[in-house]
Amino acid sequence: MVQDGIILSNVLLTEDTYRMEIACDSSHAKPGQFVQVEVPGYFLRRPISICEITSHGLVLVYKVVGQGTQKMAEMKEGNINLFGPLGTGFPVEAKEHVVLMGGGVGVPPLYETAKQYLHQGTKVDVVLGFNTKNQAIYLEEFEALGARVTVASMDGSIGVKGTVIDAMQEKEIPGDFILACGPLPMLKAIQNTYTKGYISLEARMACGMGACMGCVVKDQEGHSLRVCKDGPVFEIGKVAL
Ligand SMILES: Cc1cc2nc3c(=O)[nH]c(=O)nc-3n(C[C@H](O)[C@H](O)[C@H](O)COP(=O)(O)OP(=O)(O)OC[C@H]3O[C@@H](n4cnc5c(N)ncnc54)[C@H](O)[C@@H]3O)c2cc1C
Ligand code: FES
């Protein structure tokens, strides 16, 4: 669905990461899905995960990495065109306990996921990894939801020094059911360590709706999977990483 939304706010969270709140139709949105954001002056839309589904729209949290996201950071209150929600989301299954593992800008889609698991009474551990303290986002927000939050940083400036997997081991958090989003090396390590749950992948995208085959990855049998349509959320072990 292509729709016009209204930017309600677009504010800096950390050194290069912004939070944009949009009034739009969010009635069909699920945690882990994404929207393709139209950026004025650019032909290709930018895929950004849904961080939060509100009663009146969506929240996106994005890092400035290039020209498109820089332009997004400069967008003021006013109109914005979105295509979505798109892709598969994180399933919200009946579980006693889940672990949400996020790295860098893989953290945002876990927020709505945590909210929905906590809402149904599931105990939620959130394990968040960053390169350094200044890049840490959403720690208080997850705590305010009622999740148990563990932080890791590669330089040791906040939380456990090392990766999210190091933090899981140091804090003895059982990895019974994982929902993860983050950089590829992190997802590979998670897929090699845990057997139950889901990971959310990133890929360069064009159409965002399964038509152009621009975002294809392979499953373990060598079959093609489109990250935009068959994913971005896949069961752990399904994709050959
Ligand atoms: C399903 C999905 C969800 C995402 N969710 C988020 C999110 O919640 N927050 C966030 O900060 N980032 C997210 N990303 C990454 C985000 O799409 C890119 O950082 C962004 O498109 C970069 O655009 P740019 O013009 O600033 O960078 P440039 O490097 O100038 O972009 C050039 C082109 O490459 C594409 N591109 C560049 N990097 C990526 C990338 N990592 N993934 C996909 N396309 C890329 C751009 O869309 C553009 O078409 C997500 C990506 C995907 C696929
Ligand atoms: S981006 Fe076109 S098929 Fe995925």
Ligand with an atom nearest the CA of residue 204: 1
Q: pTM of the entire structure? A: 0.97
The pLDDT profile of the chain, 241 residues, written as one tens digit per residue, is 999 999 999 999 999 999 999 999 999 999 999 999 999 999 999 999 999 999 999 999 999 999 999 999 999 989 999 999 999 999 999 999 999 999 999 999 999 999 999 999 999 999 999 999 999 999 999 999 999 999 999 999 999 999 999 999 999 999 999 999 999 999 999 999 999 999 999 999 999 999 999 999 999 999 999 999 999 999 999 999 9
Q: How far is the centre of ligand 1, averaged over its atoms, from the C-alpha of 65 (Å)? A: 8
Distance CA 90, CA 117 (A): 10
Q: How far is the centre of ligand 1, averaged over its atoms, from the C-alpha of 47 (Å)? A: 6
Establish whether residue 226 lines the binding site of ligand 1, counting it when its CB lies within 6 angstroms of any ligand atom: no
Q: How far is the centre of ligand 2, averaged over its atoms, from the C-alpha of 205 (Å)? A: 5
Residue 69's pLDDT is 98
Give the CB-side neighbour count of residue 94, counting CA atoms within 13 A: 0
Q: Are 221 and 59 in contact (CB under 8 A)?
A: no
The preferred substitution site among 48, 107, 138, 209 for testing ligand 1, maximizing ligand atoms within 8 Å of CB, is: 48
Q: pLDDT tens across 132-191, in order?
A: 999 999 999 999 999 999 999 999 999 999 999 999 999 999 999 999 999 999 999 999
Q: How many residues does the chain have?
A: 241
Q: Are 29 and 37 in contact (CB under 8 A)?
A: no
Q: Which residues pair with 2 in a beta bridge?
A: 83
Residue 90's pLDDT is 98
Establish whether residue 214 lines the binding site of ligand 2, counting it when its CB lies within 6 angstroms of any ligand atom: yes
